[in-house]
Structure 1
């Protein structure tokens, strides 16, 4: 009897993400050619510590969404996960050749919210363009749009959560507007390319399965006819 647990093995591909994230720490430092992409509009955006909550929700949200896509629509799971991994690689290559930095505000006062902000700020303020938070959150929106089995309520919750996370990167002063724009553009291009490649592979595998099923059916018919002749 086939073990039903083997059907969940493709979820293990999610482990590629933390492996790739090793490079985030390696690249998260300054250098002689570090630039800032701040604009006048960025300077007008206020610092709102409360947005650290949706900023941190990003971690379980991405994992949960990949699992949902896996359960609801396997093709969307693969397309989103592959795009995410390729996006991480593209981000790390960009950080290596074009490192950017953001100047964070000074945290004053106590309280749980300020403590969370200080915890996030303990990381170096580099690896800004493009934003990985925005890249991955936007990919959940792309996956949601293709996952036709999701309910309207689920779509609304995913939409609100994704965009709140994206906006939070501005209000907690972790990214600039250009970081967001670059991440969305990268997500759009990679998701489109991966989507064009996946159907070809899927159709190819499906045709093999169909041929095998057809040959099996023909064999069964021949066997039945043979039994009747006997």
Structure 2
């Protein structure tokens, strides 16, 4: 029984994510200089309320992916979680020095989708935009399954689809702009490479026990 409990203890490290989220809430305001990265292309992107569904599904997607990594490959779980938390810290440091905002549309219509958009808008101020945490974490899940033998092609395709749908949703519900997404993807690429290099180094290599003589 103790062994089973001990085996699940690493899941407690998932609590680091909501703990770090405290800094997101603290920084999510418009005090001081606030910049805009809106381009002409962003102005042409329409507001599509139905994309609020994949935007909210992000919470389930990230949690589910981390749990799957835990049960499939503990090392992959550790690498993905450490990379994710490192990325959150990097994002918060950027928000602290370079705060950006995204203009939101006037919600004049009604319906379930509009109510969901209103709920998101009311719980998340239009700051802390560059880079996008939604995009960073979703793209990181793509990188985490690439070349991983524990996941089938079908599953990887589903991960790619869900991740890119969430990434697109950040633009269509006007939570982020193109540069927010591009910056997040670049950050995920850099940190994933660094994390993979670190976890594959000798310092993190588990030495096999010598057979008892």
- Structure 1 length normalisation: TM-score? 0.89
Aligned to 1:54: 54
What secondary structure sits across from 1:21 in the alignment? helix
Could you report, residue by residue, the CA deviation over 1:20-68 in whole angstroms, capped at 9, with x for unpaired residues? 0001110000123110000010011000000000000000110000010
Tell me if the contact between 1:72 and 1:147 (Cα under 8 Å) persists in the aligned partners. no
Describe how 1:168-207 pairs up with structure 2 within 5 A: 168-200=169-201, 201-203=203-205, 206-207=206-207
2:173 & 2:197 partners in 1: Cα distance? Answer: 36
2:114 & 2:13 partners in 1: Cα distance? Answer: 35
Tell me if the contact between 1:52 and 1:168 (Cα under 8 Å) persists in the aligned partners. yes
Aligned to 1:167: 168
2:168 & 2:2 partners in 1: Cα distance? Answer: 46
Tell me if the contact between 1:73 and 1:147 (Cα under 8 Å) persists in the aligned partners. no
1:11 Cα offset (Å)? 1.1
Tell me if the contact between 2:102 and 2:127 (Cα under 8 Å) persists in the aligned partners. yes
Q: How many residues align?
A: 211
Tell me if the contact between 2:101 and 2:126 (Cα under 8 Å) persists in the aligned partners. yes
2:197 & 2:187 partners in 1: Cα distance? Answer: 16
What secondary structure sits across from 2:106 in the alignment? coil
Tell me if the contact between 2:198 and 2:204 (Cα under 8 Å) persists in the aligned partners. no
2:83 & 2:184 partners in 1: Cα distance? Answer: 12
Aligned to 1:129: 130
Instruction: Establish whether residue 101 from structure 1 lines up as the match of residue 114 from structure 2.
Output: no
Aligned to 1:225: none
Aligned to 1:4: 4
2:120 & 2:147 partners in 1: Cα distance? Answer: 33
What secondary structure sits across from 2:62 in the alignment? helix
1:2 Cα offset (Å)? 4.9
1:28 & 1:105 partners in 2: Cα distance? Answer: 19
Aligned to 1:152: 153
Aligned to 1:44: 44
Structure 1 unaligned regions, length at least 5: 219-230
Structure 2 unaligned regions, length at least 5: none
1:90 & 1:187 partners in 2: Cα distance? Answer: 11
Aligned to 2:114: 114
1:161 Cα offset (Å)? 0.3
Describe how 1:23-102 pairs up with structure 2 within 5 A: 23-102=23-102
Structure number with larger C-alpha Rg:
1
1:186 & 1:34 partners in 2: Cα distance? Answer: 21
More helix by share: 1
Tell me if the contact between 2:72 and 2:150 (Cα under 8 Å) persists in the aligned partners. yes
